[in-house]
Amino acid sequence: MGPLVRAITYSTLFVGFVLVFLPARVLEWSGVTPPVERGFAQAAGVVVGLLGAGLAAWCIVTFSLVGRGTPAPFDPPRRLVVAGPYRRIRNPMYVGAGLALAGAALYYKSLALLGYLVVFLLATQLLVLGYEEPTLRRLFGNDYGEYCRRVGRWWPRRSSRHP
């Protein structure tokens, strides 16, 4: 199975569970229902959510085409990915997922989803620091170290120059 098909398959399972199934359970458990009236918060939530989903999709395609792998830890990219959205920040897929969750929280005006987003962001930070960065340093050595010096983990750097 090619990298793009694998990436789409694994990402669909991840997105389906972490960004659809679990947030739906949070909404259900907290008693939040879809808003009857649509206003600014819902429109803004849709825009933010779509921007996040688009960013995450761009990352998935970049992982498969450039890195020849997937976002799944058990089938990672074979090459260091520093193209596409990874030129500006090191973890754009998580940023995209966070934006999608933030959009949903805004759409539903849900503090429970906002809390889920905070838990997601904390878990992501721990995963990145405890597993992903050490693994990437081990796999890609100096190339990854140089990439880290040039590109911010969560925010673009003002003066980062890209080859």
pLDDT per residue over 73-82, tens digit each?
777 788 999 9
Q: How far, in Å, CA of 113 to CA of 98, rounded?
A: 11
Question: Is there a domain that residue 162 lies in?
Answer: no
Question: Is there a domain that residue 158 lies in?
Answer: no
Question: Is there a domain that residue 161 lies in?
Answer: no
Cβ–Cβ < 8 Å for 11, 58: no
Q: Residue 152: helix, strand or coil by DSSP?
A: strand
Question: Is there a domain that residue 141 lies in?
Answer: yes
pLDDT for 161 beyond 60:
no
Domain that holds residue 125: 3-150
Domains: count for the chain:
1
Q: Is 81 exposed, middle or buried (0-12, 13-18, 19+ CB in 10 A)?
A: buried
Q: If pLDDT is split at 50, 70 and 90, which confidence band does 159 have?
A: low
Q: How far, in whole angstroms, is CA 150 from its chain's centroid? A: 20
pLDDT, one tens digit per residue, over 20-74 is 788 888 888 888 888 888 999 999 999 999 999 999 989 988 988 898 877 777 7
Question: Is there a domain that residue 159 lies in?
Answer: no
Question: Is there a domain that residue 42 lies in?
Answer: yes
